[in-house]
Amino acid sequence: MSDLTHLFEKIARGDVPSHKVYEDEQVFAFLDINPLSRGHTLVIPRQRYERLDDLPPEVGAAIGRALPRIAAAVCRATGAHSYNVLSNTGREAGQVVPHVHFHIIPWHGPDRSLGIRWPATPIEEDDAKALRDEIASALADGH
Ligand code: 5GP
């Protein structure tokens, strides 16, 4: 287990200092120590779940309730109108801290925001139908 495994639990408990912007029974939010842009904020469940898809529904709901309010406050405080919300899940996708978290990254100009490579190509109809069926069936199975 890396040193980072329990970092965000310690932050939520106040055992490691942070600049807290919000807390409730299940959710904690604080400024990122290494922001991509001014106002870059992390929103986490107090309890550690490694991946977004590990979250129990009630914890997901608590995060979902808090995120829009915190995003609005970050915008008000920083004067940003646009922002990205991002949850890196899995090491290959950029997750460094194995405790699910949502980044709120205000847009303050092309060099002071999240830079995204988005190499999109049009979906193919046959693949879209197959995918739709597979995802719908995984949802129906509860996986
Ligand atoms: P990830 O790459 O896992 O999606 O993002 C982890 C984030 O946690 C990074 O943006 C990083 O700057 C932030 N971070 C790592 N350690 C600390 C810390 O000790 N305090 C705070 N406030 N943020 C941290």
Residues with CB under 6 Å of ligand 1 are: 7, 18, 30-34, 42, 88, 94-97
Residue of minimum CA distance from atom 24 in ligand 1: 33
Residue range 103-123, pLDDT digits in tens = 999 999 999 989 899 999 999
The whole-number pLDDT of residue 142 equals: 83
Residue range 67-112, pLDDT digits in tens = 999 999 999 999 999 999 999 999 999 999 999 999 999 999 999 9
- Asked if 113 contacts 106 with a C-beta cutoff of 8 angstroms, the reply is yes
DSSP string, 34-71: S-SSTT-EEEEESS--SSGGG--HHHHHHHHHHHHHHH
Predicted model pTM: 0.96
The whole-number pLDDT of residue 68 equals: 98
Confidence of residue 1 (pLDDT cuts 50, 70, 90): low
Edge-to-edge strands, sheet with 83-86: 20-23, 27-31, 41-45, 102-106, 83-86
Kindly list the distances between the CA atom of residue 68 and the CA atoms of 9, 27, 71, 90, 126, in Å, as whole numbers in the listed order: 22, 13, 5, 24, 36
* Span 14-40, average pLDDT: 98
Rounded to the nearest whole angstrom, what is the distance from the C-alpha of residue 43 to the centroid of ligand 1? 11
- Asked if 41 contacts 21 with a C-beta cutoff of 8 angstroms, the reply is yes
The whole-number pLDDT of residue 143 equals: 60
Pocket test for ligand 1, best of 7, 22, 42, 51 (most atoms within 8 A of CB): 42
